[in-house]
Structure 1
Amino acid sequence: MNRLHGVLLWIVLFEVCVLSNANFRSGVLRIVSNFTNKLVTTETNVIDRKYNITSLIWCAVLCFSNEKCVSLFFLSDTHVCQLHNVLFVDTTDADDRPDTKYFQITEDWCPYDKGYVVYRPLALCYKIHEDEVAQAQAKLTCQDEGGILAMVKDETTFNHLYDFLRASSTIRQKHFQIGADDIAVEGSLRWADGSPVTWTNWAQGEPSHDTERCTSMAWFYYFKWNDIPCSHPVGFLCQIIKP
């Protein structure tokens, strides 16, 4: 076998593997099967679009090479590779598009098989839970998955989560609880890992009640923070810390 044939065989084998899930260096390319033959056409979350990309491997390389790339669409008939900075979760936001596949970029330490998403610039591994529960149950669910309620410790983290939550219709108008509360000491917010909250992102007029000691990202505040009673049932965000 000459060198060219060897390279071509390697490309074919890679593409056969990647149509399910495949390891790629330190990352994982995972097909999002419910988006097969669908394409999200909104420009808001597109970070790059390349043409004349004749192989899925080259599209994957482009995404892995761009640290902000979270997902990609590969249009095999027109040879288009479309990179996004979020993972889409609602197929109703996509148009029908034959010969199209959608992939999530993730890493081995972030359990994508449990629905977690990784944002590589921040080593941020997170998951939305749309079921509405009180804080105590939300904490238990995150713990059962090996994580904690999500910590939004800076503006960069907020901006990414904002983009993610706004990108899909099914979650765009829902509140999500995060891991900041002052249950231990009133007026002293702490994160789920016990560290003090040093950066805040309260909506105007919040926090508003002394009895509301937990925190949510409220959709009607464009996901800025809103204080809520810890017994109030609301969706929540879990986070797994990178080892």
Structure 2
Amino acid sequence: MFRTLLFLCLVNYTPALTTTAFAAKWTAFNHVVMSNTASVEISNVYSGKRCLFLCLQNEACVSFFYRRQHRRCQFHDVLFMSPEDGEHENGTVYYSLTTGVCPFGYVHNRLLNICYQLHLDDIYYNDGLADCASRGEHLLVIDSADKQNHIVKQITSSSASTVKSYFIDGSDAANEGQWVFHDGRPMTYFAWKPGFPTNTTDDRDYIAANKGGKAYLWQDRKGSESKFYICEKDL
């Protein structure tokens, strides 16, 4: 997905939250709008820079469309990945937000304080784990219903990301039935699909958010299966 850095602004906007904000323009979405999925839309806005300022004030805002011909900002709590899912609208441009602590191309959910990236590469568990680790990251930790609901919304917001299931953090490889995160913390929240986990001894030691029914409930799966994966950067 092509993107270009737009601008740097809002230095010392609010020290408790951030000192710098960036917007990255996603050129593949030029003249495209997701007209029926906005969480908030604001009228009488005369620049993309003003949209960025307003997005930063709204902690739920992850990305935004600046609809030039309508002078409107359309805020979203997900990062879209499939321009073909939208509708044509002349002059509309799309940006993602980062406050400098989360890299471009990642989803920065400030309400949940998470920074992560969906990887639409069909690979084995250990290969996905190694790719995350190569950037100092780990597979995505989901430890609350709010995070689970957000991840499901993010995945299902784009047709390209709904093709496969996803490996996320969590394993019982050390002790069957005792699920822990990558850092050894015991897991206390689960979103298992009915009938799971199987807790068998056939190497189903890893968690996959399963695409069945687009609910992305969890299954215990083998590391030798290939799936998409999600990396998280600690903030």
Give the TM-score normalised by structure 1. 0.86
Q: Whose radius of gyration is greater, 1 or 2?
A: 1
Instruction: Name the counterpart of 1:145.
Output: 135
Kept in 2: contact 1:22–1:30 (CA 8 A): no
Instruction: Name the counterpart of 2:86.
Output: 94
Deviations 1:50-73 (A, max 9, x none): 111122222222111000000100
Instruction: Name the counterpart of 1:154.
Output: 144
Q: Distance in 1 between matches of 2:169 and 2:183?
A: 8
Deviations 1:68-127 (A, max 9, x none): 000100011210110111000001111111111100011322121xx3221111221111
Asked if residue 30 in structure 1 is aligned to residue 24 in structure 2, the reply is yes
Segments ≥4 residues shifted beyond 4 Å: none
Structure with the higher helix share, 1 or 2: 1
Q: Distance in 1 between matches of 2:10 and 2:233?
A: 21
Asked if residue 228 in structure 1 is aligned to residue 216 in structure 2, the reply is no
Name stretches of at least 5 consecutive residues in structure 2 with no aligned partner: 12-19
Asked if residue 121 in structure 1 is aligned to residue 111 in structure 2, the reply is yes
Cα RMSD (Å) of the superposition? 1.6
CA shift, 1:178, in A, is 0.3
Instruction: Name the counterpart of 1:41.
Output: 35
Kept in 1: contact 2:43–2:72 (CA 8 A): yes
Deviations 1:132-176 (A, max 9, x none): 222111110001122001110111111111110010011123200
- SS of 2:111's equivalent? helix
Q: Distance in 2 between matches of 1:100 and 1:188?
A: 49
CA shift, 1:186, in A, is 1.4
Q: Distance in 2 between matches of 1:134 and 1:169?
A: 22
Q: From 228, 232, 235, give the equivalent of 1:239.
A: 232
Q: What amino acid is aligned across from residue 58 of structure 1 in structure 2? A: R
Q: How does 1:193-232 map to 2 (within 5 A)?
A: 193-210=183-200, 211=202, 212-221=204-213, 222-232=215-225
Q: Report how many residues are paired.
A: 221
Q: Distance in 2 between matches of 1:24 and 1:89?
A: 27
Q: From 39, 51, 64, give the equivalent of 1:59.
A: 51
- The structure-2 alpha-carbon separation of the partners of 1:53 and 1:65, relative to structure 1 and needing over 3 Å to count, comes to same
Q: From 146, 154, 158, give the equivalent of 1:164.
A: 154
Q: Distance in 2 between matches of 1:141 and 1:168?
A: 23
- SS of 2:28's equivalent? helix
Kept in 1: contact 2:6–2:22 (CA 8 A): no
Name stretches of at least 5 consecutive residues in structure 1 with no aligned partner: 1-17
Instruction: Name the counterpart of 2:14.
Output: none
- The structure-2 alpha-carbon separation of the partners of 1:21 and 1:184, relative to structure 1 and needing over 3 Å to count, comes to farther
Kept in 2: contact 1:21–1:31 (CA 8 A): no
Kept in 2: contact 1:124–1:241 (CA 8 A): yes
Q: Distance in 2 between matches of 1:107 and 1:52?
A: 25
Asked if residue 192 in structure 1 is aligned to residue 185 in structure 2, the reply is no
Q: Distance in 1 between matches of 2:6 and 2:22?
A: 11
Q: Distance in 2 between matches of 1:129 and 1:84?
A: 20
Q: From 20, 32, 41, give the equivalent of 2:6.
A: 20
Q: What amino acid is aligned across from residue 206 of structure 1 in structure 2? A: F
Instruction: Name the counterpart of 1:4.
Output: none
- SS of 2:191's equivalent? coil
Kept in 2: contact 1:23–1:29 (CA 8 A): no
Give the TM-score normalised by structure 2. 0.89
CA shift, 1:21, in A, is 4.0
